[in-house]
């Protein structure tokens, strides 16, 4: 996708299931991913990297052990590396994630919600 115009709304329309990130584009050693979130994810950490969430549409709660962070449309929040967190969305949220290539969505937790990074069709 590098060197091409990519429309975020059009990309999100091609994501059909929650918790399955799709690569929107890459820059240097980072992937920008589009994802739909709904329900509660799994508590996890990314021991070696920060994780950026940007909400495009909806309301996302990022549960931390000491507080909840609530993001609305166009809000951005960075979960620092090593901080345990659990995203939760009462209704569908459309979001962008920005993280190093190879970052697994469930971090150190693994489990059935682990999803390989998908390419947009």
Residue 61, both tokens: 């709660």
Domain count, the chain: 1
| Structural domain containing residue 65 | 8-102
Distance CA 79, CA 82 (A): 8
Flag whether 1 is in a domain: no
CATH code, 46:
2.60.120.10
Specify the 3-state DSSP secondary structure of 7: coil
Strand 118-119 and strand 22-27: the pairing is: parallel
Flag whether 87 is in a domain: yes
Flag whether 119 is in a domain: no
Distance CA 121, CA 40 (A): 26
pTM exceeds 0.75, yes or no: yes
Q: Is the pLDDT of residue 61 over 70?
A: yes
Flag whether 81 is in a domain: yes
Q: What is the pLDDT of residues 68-90, one digit of tens each?
A: 999 999 999 999 999 999 999 99
Flag whether 43 is in a domain: yes
| Angle, vertex CA 77, rays to CA 44 and CA 90, nearest 5 | 65
């Amino acid at each position: 996708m590098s060197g091409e115009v990519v429309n975020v709304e059009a990309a999100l329309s091609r994501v059909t299931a929650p918790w399955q990130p799709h690569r929107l584009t890459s820059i240097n050693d980072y992937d920008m991913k589009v994802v739909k979130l709904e329900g509660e994810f799994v508590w996890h950490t990314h021991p070696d990297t920060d994780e950026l969430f940007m909400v495009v549409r909806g309301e996302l709660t990022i549960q931390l052990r000491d507080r909840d962070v609530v993001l609305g449309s166009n809000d951005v929040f960075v979960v620092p590396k090593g901080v345990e967190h659990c995203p939760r969305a009462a209704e569908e949220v459309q979001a962008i994630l920005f993280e190093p290539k190879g970052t697994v969505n469930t971090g150190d937790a693994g489990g059935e919600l682990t999803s390989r990074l998908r390419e947009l069709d």
